Amino acid sequence: MIESLPVELIGKIVGELTLEDVIKISQLSRRLMNVASDPILNVWRFPILRDLRSDQYEESLKHLSVYMSVPRHNWVDILSRARAPYILFEMTLPNLKEAEWEDAFKRRFLPSWWRQRKDSTWKAALLRVLHQTWHRSCTSCTANEAWTKYIVLNRNGSANQLEASSRHFNPALIFDDMRHVRLVVQFADVRVLALGTLNRPLSSLTVNSNAKALLHPPGILPGDSSGSAAPEYSRLNYPLPAQTHINYPFYTPGEDNLWQEDAEEAGLEWVGGLIIRVVTQILGQGLNEKPPQDGAPLLDRDLIVGPGRQQYASFTWDDLGILAPWLEEKITKKIDGPGLGL
């Protein structure tokens, strides 16, 4: 009988079950309820994470907050990973401490968004920003962000933070000199893209070392998912990447193409005067639909052309500092606005 087993073994067994089965087991006896309530064993963690990674959540996740045996820190994972409309319109929200709402907010959103807290509580701030992001993902509304900021890494080592009208901000059109697109990292609501030009350089003077360093951090080897080869780096947790990039900046097996062999391995480099634009794209509906094939060819063209790819949010110095801290010493000058910063 399962109740006669050591609690550690019970925890491992229960952790392999579905979320609905864990709820049932937690209600069978006082001992099993105590095991389920133990925040150290946390038998809920793996069933919850498996459910969040699935295409369709279990019905039992919707009202999980009514069960007192669920350790509260599981809700930070749920609130930082679950799809926005599910949190806003379907889920029964838990009763959490202010520090837990703050943790969930900072795990979900980019650092530049942390300053958007205008509400009296972190819970209100999370729900407000989450609703704004969801609203922008399925409409063309730009009322909450009239200007979109983005960063340009220059060949001479400097970088500019520029901005453009959000209503007309479309990398597929205004970055017509950028021939290649790369997905840097994806989060719950947005993904960060880098646009530039890959070519065979005429000389080393045309190569932008910061562009390559952004996409391939120095010291990390392709295929390294543990971080053992580059102990000076650590996995990103604030904000928390999506499961497809959960090991960022290290390689995440699966859909992470950043560390796979690409054109750069064939002697091509990121070249040009203004080599790379870093932007934040809001994840909209229809991302799985194939984009049209007309127009200029682009590497990973489907990242910016097609349904659900028309809305962008700002990407600032704060975001770059968190996503690529190794660039802090490499960028020779940070310039707000266009120009050389003389």
Q: What is the pLDDT of residues 106-152, one digit of tens each?
A: 999 999 998 878 778 999 999 999 999 999 988 888 888 899 999 99
Q: Are 319 and 112 in contact (CB under 8 A)?
A: yes
The reply to whether 156 and 125 lie within a common domain is no
Does residue 173 belong to any structural domain of this protein? yes
pTM of the model: 0.89
Q: Does the residue 23 lie in any domain?
A: yes
Of 324, 264, 303, 265, the residue nearest 182 (C-alpha): 303
The answer to whether residues 292 and 250 belong to one domain is: yes
The answer to which of 95-104, 121-130, 207-216, 241-250 has the lowest mean pLDDT is: 207-216
pLDDT of amino acid 87? 97
Residue 58 sits in the same domain as residue 169: no
Q: Both 163 and 223 in a single domain?
A: yes
* Residue where a domain terminates, one of 67, 89, 111: 67
Is 280 in contact with 190 (CB distance < 8 Å)?
yes
Domain for residue 63, yes or no?
Answer: yes
Contact 117, 125 (CB under 8 A): yes
Residue 341 lies in a domain: no
Q: Tell me how far apart the alpha carbons of residues 157 and 261 are, in angstroms, rounded to a whole number.
A: 25
Show the beta-strand stretches assigned E in the chain.
Answer: 147-154, 159-165, 180-186, 190-196, 198-199, 269-270, 274-282, 312-313, 334-336
Q: 157 and 104, same structural domain? A: no
Same domain, 268 and 232: yes
Please indicate, yes or no, whether residues 103 and 22 belong to a single structural domain of this protein. no
**Same domain flag for 126 and 181:** no
Residue 209 C-beta-side C-alpha neighbours within 13 Å: 13
Q: Which residues pair with 72 in a beta bridge?
A: none
In one-letter notation, the amino acid at residue 237 is N
Structural domain total, the chain = 3
DSSP structural state of residue 13: H
Q: How far is CA 65 from the centre of its chain?
A: 25
Range of the domain at 47: 1-67
The whole-number pLDDT of residue 297 equals 42
CA atoms of 277 and 130, how far apart (whole Å):
26
